Amino acid sequence: MILLRFLAHLSSALTNKSNLQRNLHVVHSIKCQNITSVCIPCTCNTTGAISTICNSDTGHCQCRDNFLGKNCDMEIDQDCKLSDWTSWSICSKACGIGGEQKRYRHIVLQQKGRGKQCQGDKVENKKCFKRCCNGTFECKDSSKCFMGIKCQHCNCDHEGSTSGICHPINGACSCKPDYDGRRCQGIYYML
Q: What is each CA distance from 113 to 9, 66, 73, 75, 80, in whole angstroms?
A: 55, 7, 12, 6, 10
Which letter does DSSP use for residue 181 in this model? S
For residue 47, the one-letter residue type is: T
Look at residues 174, 92, 179 and name the one whose alpha carbon lies nearest to residue 135: 174
> What is the arithmetic mean of pLDDT over 66-73?
90
Q: Which domains does the chain have, with CATH numbers?
A: 17-75 (2.170.300.10), 81-128 (2.20.100.10), 136-187 (2.170.300.10)
Which stretches of the chain are assigned E, i.e. beta strand?
30-31, 40-41, 49-54, 61-63, 67-68, 74-75, 81-82, 99-104, 107-109, 123-128, 136-138, 151-153, 161-166, 173-175, 179-180, 186-187
Kindly state the helix (H) or strand (E) to which residue 129 belongs, with its residue range.
none
Distance CA 136, CA 153 (A): 4
Distance CA 179, CA 163 (A): 13
Grade residue 41 by pLDDT with cuts at 50, 70 and 90.
confident
Residue 189 has pLDDT above 50, yes or no: yes
How are beta strands 67-68 and 74-75 bridged, if at all?
A: antiparallel
- Euclidean distance between the first and final Cα of the chain, in Å? 150
The tens digit of pLDDT for each residue in 70-85 reads 999 988 888 999 999 9
| pTM for the whole structure | 0.50
Residue 90 has pLDDT above 50, yes or no: yes
Which of the listed ranges 23-27, 117-121, 161-165 does the model predict with the highest average pLDDT?
117-121
Stronger pLDDT, 181 or 11, i.e. the higher one: 181
Kindly state the helix (H) or strand (E) to which residue 120 belongs, with its residue range.
none
Mean pLDDT over all residues of the chain? 79
Residue 19 has pLDDT above 70, yes or no: no
Structure confidence at residue 50 (pLDDT) = 93
Phi and psi at residue 3, in whole multiples of 5°? -65, -40
